[in-house]
Amino acid sequence: MASTKKLPVTAFAPATVANVGCGFDVLGFAIHGPGDTVTASFSDEPGLRIVSISGDEGRLPLDAQKNTAGLAAIALLNAAGHSVDDKGIELSIVKKMPLGSGLGSSAASSVAAVVAVNDLIGSPFTKGNLLPFAVEGEIAASGTPHADNVAAALMGGFILVKNHQPPDVITLHTPDDLHCTIIHPAIEIQTKNSRKILKKQVSLEKAVKQWGNVGGLIAGLYTNDYDLIGRSLHDEIIEPVRSMLIPGFKEMKKAALDSGALGCSISGSGPSLFALSTSENLANEIGKNMGAVLDGIGLEYDLFISKVNVDGAYIES
């Protein structure tokens, strides 16, 4: 095994947009700005321990077996054959994004943890090979090991999840001019709860439209065809159900489209919305007009403007 490092290692993993309208559980992309950091260090006390979590207001468990970062790190250490019986590992987590926001908060912690721990123990795995371990962390958040958020946070850019178990992920082309507006209303929606309300069956007609939209969106990304991207950013199945949980959804979506957005839908399980556009100025204008809707109903919100983050997770120190 490669030699271990003595100094603490801090990794950052970015926030992500999953589903991207028509691609429920199979499409995602990373953004700049919000995200999580995890610092991994060796300890004289045996075992893997989470010693601190900041930014979570005391709502996330320190028990590594119940925490997304802890589960992901344990999976990595087991696969690497790295024992913590004699020399333990401590994790410190800093949440730099809202919980229950639909921006992949749990995935960012999982990804940052495996990137940091992998580096700490001498990088036995390449970055791409860390994905299965990060996916294991999602079990703590949603009860299922889905890969759309974690793959985007790890690798950056747009990703397509062909299969979740084992994860089979394809990195897609990202047009240079593509910008994202994200608005996060100050409410929380738990992924587990938002999955419970989804219909178990869909009509063949809606399924066919959805398949066409997924194919159209991917084709639009590869050909830099922004009109095709806009015509494909329609969700026939998930958005009609989950949008009922988000105050002002219809009005915000209309404001985004009226402002020139290519498309607008729910980010992950919500309550955040995302809108894609072709310039930073347009993305800011879209955000201003979407925010005006929430101002009108007296609901506070966070606003993020970003190009698609094609870098993904990285080591800070």
Q: Is the pLDDT of residue 9 over 90?
A: yes
Q: Which CATH number fits domain 9-172+310-315: 3.10.620.30, 3.40.50.1970, 3.20.20.70, 3.30.230.10?
A: 3.30.230.10
Question: Beta 314-315 vs 9-18: how paired, if at all?
Answer: antiparallel
Which pLDDT score, from 0 to 100, does residue 317 have?
64
Task: State pLDDT tens for residues 94-143.
Answer: 999 888 889 999 999 999 999 999 999 999 999 999 999 999 888 766 66
Catalytic residue check, 144: no
| Phi/psi at 302 (5° precision) | -105, 145
Dist. CA 123–CA 248, nearest whole Å:
46
Active site residue 138: yes
pLDDT of residue 253: 98
Q: Which residue has the higher pLDDT, 262 or 245?
A: 262
Confidence of residue 166 (pLDDT cuts 50, 70, 90): confident
Q: How many residues does the chain have?
A: 317
Q: Residue 3: which pLDDT band, with cuts at 50, 70 and 90?
A: very low
Provide the β-strand partners of residue 11: 38, 315
Give the span between the Cα atoms of 146 and 220, in whole angstroms: 25
User: Among 16, 37, 39, 138, which one carries the catalytic annotation?
Assistant: 138
Indicate whether 169 pLDDT > 50: yes
pLDDT tens per residue across span 284-303: 999 999 999 999 999 999 99
| Residue extents of the structural domains in the chain | 9-172+310-315, 179-307
Helix (H) or strand (E) holding 179: strand 179-185
Q: Is the pLDDT of residue 198 over 60?
A: yes
At residue 167, the pLDDT reads: 84
CA distances, 309 to each of 44, 96, 137, 157, 170 (Å)? 37, 16, 22, 5, 16
Distance CA 18, CA 151 (A): 10
Q: Where are the alpha helices (H) located in the chain, listed in sequence order?
A: 68-80, 105-120, 131-142, 148-155, 191-196, 204-223, 226-232, 239-242, 249-258, 280-296
Classify the C-alpha dihedral 58-64-70-72 as positive or negative: negative
Domains 9-172+310-315 and 179-307 share a fold: no
> How far is it, in rounded angstroms, from Cα 179 to Cα 194?
27
Q: Is the full-model pTM beyond 0.75?
A: yes
Given this model, what pLDDT does residue 284 score?
A: 98
C-alpha to C-alpha distance for 156 and 312, rounded to whole angstroms: 4
Catalytic residue among 10, 39, 174, 191: 191
Averaged pLDDT, 211-240 = 96
**Is the pLDDT assigned to residue 1 strictly greater than 50?**
no
Q: Are strands 158-163 and 168-171 parallel, antiparallel or unpaired?
A: antiparallel
Cα(221)–Cα(159) distance, integer angstroms: 11
**Mean pLDDT value across residues 259-288:** 96
* 142 SS3 class: helix
pLDDT at 200: 81
Residues 225, 219 contacting (CB under 8 angstroms): yes
How much is the average pLDDT of 261-281? Answer: 96
Q: Is the pLDDT of residue 250 over 50?
A: yes
CA 6, CA 183: separation in Å to the nearest integer?
A: 41
User: Has residue 315 got a pLDDT over 70?
Assistant: yes
Q: Which CATH number fits domain 179-307: 1.20.1090.10, 3.40.640.10, 3.30.70.890, 3.40.50.300?
A: 3.30.70.890
What the block records as the tokens of 313 is 């997770």
